[in-house]
Amino acid sequence: MSTPILYGVPFSQPVRAVMWLFIMHKSPFELVLINPGSKGDNGSRNPGYLAKCPGGTIPCLEEPDTGFTLGEAHAILTYLSRTNGWTDVYPDDERARAKIDAYLHYHHRNVREASLGLVAPKIRKDLDIPESFQESAKRNLTNALKTLESSYLAENKFLMGDEVSLADIAAYVEIGQLRPEFTNVYDFSDFPNVRRWLNDMAKVPGHDEVHVVLAEMGDISEQAPEMETMKNANITALKTLKETLAGF
């Protein structure tokens, strides 16, 4: 089978989730840059891209030899895991899979709100996200963190038990970006179990390679990053990705 194409940019949380899955399995892929929200030639709202991914969002996966394309990060994560036999993160047991699927559905409008409430307003000023929307997104995120703290992570090391699963990858790309080491836009003091989990997730293979873009961008709590900083973060992230993939 030819090398799969992943459309997106390293700044995108759901794109990072798919890149992490590939990298932790040392599985080659080609990242083709697509500008989220743009109607331009390399944009996610361009007709050519919409033909592959009708939702007009990144990520999108393409298998060049069959022409098969698939949008939606969680569909891509489960598809890749099933077709490659990556049972370490998506166990070959219907009930275990169903529990992971349940988290992946729950994630939207809950944990995913981290991006809309806290990160996008700082780095995507062009979106002009209304204050009321940001506040409601922050509330949803905090409620989701309470759920993670008191249920999923109260007894387990990772969301589904002792091992990392797709649920953790999907959750971390949202929650992890808020850490003091990265954007530093959320206070996790009230969530000791979440803090422990964040530290454990940072040791999962592929974490550092996928999060270079955030480490480079740094703290955005006080002010939005300069365009130059974002550009350089992207360049460093793409260079790291190239080096990582060359090692597979």
Ligand X SMILES: N[C@@H](CCC(=O)N[C@@H](CS)C(=O)NCC(=O)O)C(=O)O
What residues make contact with ligand X under the rule CB under 6 A? Answer: 12-14, 36-37, 44-45, 56-59, 72-74
Contacts of 115 (CB under 8 A, 6+ apart): 13, 174, 177
* Residue 60 β-bridge partners: 7, 71
Q: Are strands 30-33 and 5-8 parallel, antiparallel or unpaired?
A: parallel
Tell me the C-alpha to C-alpha distance, in Å, between residue 24 and each of 63, 86, 89, 173: 20, 10, 10, 14
Side-chain half-sphere of 126: how many Cα atoms within 13 Å?
Answer: 5
Nearer to ligand X, 70 or 157 (CB): 70
Q: How far is the CB of 115 from ligand X (least distance, A)?
A: 7
Q: How far is the CB of 107 from ligand X (least distance, A)?
A: 8
Question: How far is residue 84's CA from residue 117's CA, in Å, rounded to a whole number?
Answer: 35
Nearer to ligand X, 44 or 110 (CB): 44
Question: How far is residue 198's CA from residue 223's CA, in Å, rounded to a whole number?
Answer: 24
With CB atoms as reference, the residue minimizing the distance to ligand X is 57
Side-chain half-sphere of 244: how many Cα atoms within 13 Å?
Answer: 26
Nearer to ligand X, 77 or 148 (CB): 77
Q: How far is the CB of 112 from ligand X (least distance, A)?
A: 7
Residue with tokens 């009230």: 190
Nearer to ligand X, 149 or 213 (CB): 213
Q: How far is the CB of 1 from ligand X (least distance, A)?
A: 23
Q: How far is the CB of 70 from ligand X (least distance, A)?
A: 10
Nearer to ligand X, 10 or 149 (CB): 10
